[in-house]
Chains A and B, each alone.
Chain A
Amino acid sequence: MKETNQMIENRLKRAVESSVPNVLPKLLKQIEKQEELKKMNNLDEKDKVISLETRKSRPALRWQRILAPVAAAIILLLGSWFAYAAYATQAVIAFDVNPSIELSVNRNEKVLQVDPRNEEGKSVIDDMNLKGVDLDVAVNALIGSMVRKGYISEVRNSILITVDSKSAVQGDRLQKRLSGEVSELLNGYALQGAVLSQTSRADRHFRELAETHGISPGKAALIERLIKQNPAIHFADAARLSINDINLLISSLKAAPEGVSLTGMASRKEYIGEEKAKSIAFEHAGVTEQDIRQLEIELDYDDGRMIYEVEFYIGQIEYDYEIDAKNGRILEFKSKDKENAGTPPAQTDQYIGRGRAEEIALNHAGLSRNQVRKLETEMERDRNRMTYEVEFEHENYKYEYEIDAESGRIIEVEIEKIRAGNGQSGASPSTQRTTQREGEHIGATRAEEIALNHAGLNRNQVRKLETEMEREQNRLYYEVEFEYGDKTYEYEIDAVTGAIVKVEIEMIKPKNSHPASSSPNQDLFIGHGEAERIALNHAGLTRSQVTGFEIEFKDKKSPPYYEVEFKYGGYEYEYEIHAASGKILEFEKEID
C-alpha cells in the first residue's frame, strides 16, 4: 500500500468519523439530572462553601482499600506497635509560599524531621533546629522567619498548607487548626494573610508531578484540583505561578476547588491594578474613556504570568489588550472590525506568534537563542499590517528584524555595528585615525565587492548598484546600495578598514499602481509586480527574456493567489503565488 501523508491523514479522519459514538442523548439526560440536583442542593448551599474534603482522589481510595487489611495484620503482629509510635511519622505538613518546607510529625505532634524543598526553604530554616519541638512552636518559628525574610508580605500574602496524614480524621483536624493558627500569626505581624489549606496524600503521582515541574507535591495537588474545577487550565502554565497568583486565580473563579479551603484575600498589590491597566490600553489606542464603550477588564493568566485583559469597542472596532499585571507591558494587542468579520485580519490565530517570529529571525541570522543578548520582540502595527519587531545583539552587532505577523515573511533586516559607547571596547582602528587620506581608502569597487560578497551575489545579478562615499562624525564610509529580487540592500562599509558597519535589507514596497487597489484588502496582498518578480526570480529569468507573459489574480478559491504564466526556451512556466505572503504554492514547468 503506497500512501502519501495526505492519504494517510484522510484515511485516519474517515476511520474516526465513522466510529464516533452518539453520546448526545445520554449527555442531555445527564445534564437534566444535574440541573435537578442543583435545584435541590441550593437549599443546603451553605454547607457546601466550606466543604472540607475527606479525600476523594480515587487512586488513594483504592490503595487504602488494598492496604487496610495489610495494615491491620501488621498491627496484630507487632504487639509493641505503640513503642514505635514516637518515632513513626504520622503526618507530613507542607508549607508553600515560594519557600517550600515540609515538617514530619509523630502521633504526639512532635517534629521528627524538617525538609526544605527548595533554596528559599533552606534560607527560611537557616540554623533553626526544630527537631523534637511541638508542631505549633515549629509553625510559629517558620512563619516568623518567612515574614522577617520578606517571603510573606503585604504584596504576597498567600500561603498554602497541605496536610498529608495517615489518619483522615486527624488530617482534617490538623488542616483546620493550622489554617486558623497561621492566619492569626500573620495578623500578629499586621499582615492580612490569605491561607489556602488542603489535605492530600503525597503519593507517587504527586511526587512525580512535583519533580517534573520543580514544585512541591502540595502545590501539584492544588493545581490538579484547580484543573478538576476548570479543565481549561494548563498544568505546566499554572505550575509557574506563585501561590499568591494561584490564589487570585481561584478567587476569580468564584468558588474554591473541591477539597481546598480558603481564608483571607490574596493580595493584589503586586499588580498594577485595573485602573492602571485601563489607562495603559487607552493611551496605546489613543482614546479616552468617553470614546469607548463596553469596557471589560479581567485578571487572568497566560503563559505562566498574570495579565489584565482589557477589552472595549470604538465604533464597530473591538480592541483587545493583554497587559502584564506586574509591569504593565502590553503583551498582545488586537483590534477587530466586527463588520468585516468575514475577513478577519486581526485574529491571533492568524499570527505566527512571538516565539515563531524569533525563530525566523534567529534562523535567518544563523544564530541560536543562547548565542544572542537582549532578545526583544514586540508586536507593532505598520500601516495596515501587524509585524513582529525582533531585536537582539550578537558579538558587536545589533540585529533588527521586521517580520510579517501573518505570513512570517521577513520584511526588513537591519544589522548594525554597535557603536563604542564610552570608548570602552570599541576603539576601532578607523576611529583612531583622525587624519584619513584618500590613498588609504579601499576604493568604491572594493567596497562593492565586500557588500556583494556578503550578500552572496555577483555584479550581474543585481540592479541599480550605486556607491557613494559619506562622512559621519569624522568617519568615512562607503554606502553601497543595490536591488535583488524583491529586496533592496544597503551596506555601510568603513572606508579604511573595509569592515561592514551596517546592513539593511528591505522589501521593495509593492507599488499601488495597480487599478484593483480599490479593495480594502489589497494592502494585504503583494500585488502583480511583486508576484511577477517572485516568479521570474524563481525561474532565474528577466521579463525581457520571456514571452507570452500573463498574470492573473484569483480569489475564487481559498487562499487567493496570483497565477503567473510565461514561456522561455521551449518551456512553459506556470506559478501559483500566495497573494498575501508571496509564497510559491505551485510550480509547473512543461515542454511547450
Chain B
Amino acid sequence: MAFSPVITGERVLAGQRKTTQKSQTVHRPGQKVTMEDLDKQIMKLAGGDMDALETLYERTKTAVYGFALSIVRHPQDAEDVMQDTYIRVVQGSGRYHSKGKPMAWILTIVRNLALDKLRTSPDAELPFEDEWVSDSKADFTEAALDRMVLRTVLKELTEEERQIVILRSIEGLKHREIAKLLAIPLGTALSKYHRSLSKLRTILEEEGK
C-alpha cells in the first residue's frame, strides 16, 4: 500500500482519548471579561480620564510588576520599569488600537522597558541577591514558603524561563500567548515551561528536606 503516513482510528480520536486522571483542570478561569474592560479603561485614558489609570493600575499591577521582576530581578529596577510602563501606557493610549489584547500590549511595553533597563542598569551584571526575601529556613509560614518559591524562581531559572513561569502563574497566559509575546516558537515555550517547573520542584523538594 503506497500510503506513507499511517493514520489510525486511534489517532483521529486522540483529542478525546488521551486522558486524564482524576481532576485534571484543563480550563483556566478566563480573563476574558476583564480584557474588554481593560480596553475600555485604555480608551478612557486616551480621552484624558485619569481615574481610568487608577482602575487600570489596580487590575494590572501584579502582572506588570511580576513580569518586570522576572526580567530585571531587582525589586528597585522592577519598580522603575513598572512606573515607566504606566507612563508609556498613558502616552500611548491615544495610539492604542484595540485588538482585544490590551494585556499583550501592556506586557510588550513592560518587556521592552525591562530589557532596556537590563542593558543600561549598572546592577544588571551583579549576581542575584536576596535583598528583600527573608531567608530564614525556620520560617515555615505559608507566606515565607511563597517567598521562597519566588526567590528560587529569580535565582535558579534563566531569563527566558523566569518570564515564561511568571507570565503563566500570575497572568494565566496561554502558552501560545507567551510564545508570541517572547517571540519564541510555541514548542519552545511549552518545553521550557515544563522544564522550569520540574527544575523548581526538584530544588524545592531538596530545600524542604
A 10-28 to B, binary, CB cutoff 8 A, 1 in contact else 0: 1111111111110110111
Q: How far is the CA of A59 from the CA of B143 in the complex (A)?
A: 40
What are the residues of chain B within 8 A of A461 when measuring CB–CB?
Answer: 9
B204: shortest Cβ distance to chain A, in Å? 5
Any A CB within 8 A of the CB of B138: no
B131: shortest Cβ distance to chain A, in Å? 11
Any B CB within 8 A of the CB of A79: no
A-B pairs, top 5 by smallest CB distance, nearest first, are: A456-B8, A1-B208, A15-B150, A9-B169, A15-B146
Q: How far is the CA of A225 from the CA of B66 in the complex (A)?
A: 26
A48: shortest Cβ distance to chain B, in Å? 15
What are the residues of chain B within 8 A of A234 when measuring CB–CB?
Answer: 108, 183
What are the residues of chain A within 8 A of B119 when measuring CB–CB?
Answer: 59, 205
Chain B residue at minimal CB-CB distance from A351: B176
Any B CB within 8 A of the CB of A5: yes
Contact call B32/A349, Cβ cutoff below 8 A: yes
A 520-555 to B, binary, CB cutoff 8 A, 1 in contact else 0: 000000000000001001100000000000000000
Q: A9-B169, A457-B9 are in contact. Are A587 and B204 (CB under 8 A)?
A: no
Any A CB within 8 A of the CB of B188: no
Chain B residue at minimal CB-CB distance from A535: B16
Any A CB within 8 A of the CB of B15: yes
Which of A80-88, A272-280, A373-381, A496-504 is the contact stretch? A496-504
Q: A9-B169, A13-B169, A584-B16 are in contact. Are A397 and B86 (CB under 8 A)?
A: no
Contact call A364/B186, Cβ cutoff below 8 A: no
Contact call B20/A585, Cβ cutoff below 8 A: yes
**Which of A27, A309, A349 contacts B86, CB < 8 Å?**
A27
Number of interface residues of A (CB under 8 A): 96
A 340-368 to B, binary, CB cutoff 8 A, 1 in contact else 0: 01101001110011011001000011110
Chain A residue at minimal CB-CB distance from B115: A235
Any A CB within 8 A of the CB of B19: yes
**Which of A58, A233, A298, A408 contacts B120, CB < 8 Å?**
A58
A107: shortest Cβ distance to chain B, in Å? 32
16 interchain pairs, CB-CB under 8 A = A1-B205, A2-B208, A13-B62, A16-B170, A20-B66, A21-B79, A23-B86, A24-B54, A231-B108, A234-B183, A309-B97, A349-B101, A397-B3, A454-B7, A461-B9, A486-B13
What are the residues of chain B within 8 A of A359 when measuring CB–CB?
Answer: 186
Q: How far is the CA of A587 from the CA of B75 in the complex (A)?
A: 43
- Known: A30-B83, A309-B97, A461-B9; 13 extra A-B contacts, CB below 8 A, are A1-B145, A15-B146, A16-B62, A18-B146, A19-B147, A19-B150, A20-B62, A23-B79, A231-B112, A364-B11, A410-B15, A582-B15, A583-B15
What are the residues of chain B within 8 A of A486 when measuring CB–CB?
Answer: 13
Q: Which of B127-153 contact A (CB under 8 A)?
A: 132, 142-143, 145-147, 149-150, 153
A43: shortest Cβ distance to chain B, in Å? 20
Q: Main SS of the interface on chain A?
A: mixed
Chain B residue at minimal CB-CB distance from A12: B169
Chain A residue at minimal CB-CB distance from B2: A499
Any B CB within 8 A of the CB of A450: yes
Any B CB within 8 A of the CB of A3: yes
Q: Which of B46-86 contact A (CB under 8 A)?
A: 50, 53-54, 57, 61-62, 65-66, 69, 75, 79, 82-83, 86
A555: shortest Cβ distance to chain B, in Å? 13
Any A CB within 8 A of the CB of B43: no
B42: shortest Cβ distance to chain A, in Å? 11
Any B CB within 8 A of the CB of A51: no
Contact call A30/B22, Cβ cutoff below 8 A: no
Any A CB within 8 A of the CB of B207: yes
Any A CB within 8 A of the CB of B191: no
Any B CB within 8 A of the CB of A126: no
Q: Most chain-B CB neighbours within 10 Å: which of A15, A19, A237, A499?
A: A15
Q: A21-B75, A355-B186 are in contact. Are A585 and B24 (CB under 8 A)?
A: yes
**Which of B36, B66, B112 contacts A341, CB < 8 Å?**
B36
Q: Main SS of the interface on chain B?
A: helix
**Which of B25, B33, B169, B177 contacts A585, CB < 8 Å?**
B25
Contact call A347/B12, Cβ cutoff below 8 A: no
B 1-38 to A, binary, CB cutoff 8 A, 1 in contact else 0: 11111111111110111011111111101101101100
Q: Most chain-A CB neighbours within 10 Å: which of B4, B33, B109, B166?
A: B4
Contact call B149/A485, Cβ cutoff below 8 A: no
Q: How far is the CA of A413 from the CA of B54 in the complex (A)?
A: 50
A301: shortest Cβ distance to chain B, in Å? 12
A169: shortest Cβ distance to chain B, in Å? 25
A312: shortest Cβ distance to chain B, in Å? 15
Q: A23-B83, A24-B57, A300-B97 are in contact. Are A8 and B12 (CB under 8 A)?
A: no
Contact call B7/A455, Cβ cutoff below 8 A: yes
Any A CB within 8 A of the CB of B178: no
What are the residues of chain B within 8 A of A34 when measuring CB–CB?
Answer: 87
**Which of B10, B50, B100, B142 contacts A456, CB < 8 Å?**
B10
Q: A230-B95, A347-B100 are in contact. Are A586 and B20 (CB under 8 A)?
A: yes
Q: How far is the CA of A8 from the CA of B156 in the complex (A)?
A: 14
Contact call A537/B13, Cβ cutoff below 8 A: yes
Any B CB within 8 A of the CB of A227: yes
Q: How far is the CA of A34 from the CA of B5 in the complex (A)?
A: 63
Contact call B92/A484, Cβ cutoff below 8 A: no
Contact call A455/B8, Cβ cutoff below 8 A: yes
Any B CB within 8 A of the CB of A475: no
Q: Most chain-A CB neighbours within 10 Å: which of B66, B69, B120?
A: B66
B15: shortest Cβ distance to chain A, in Å? 6
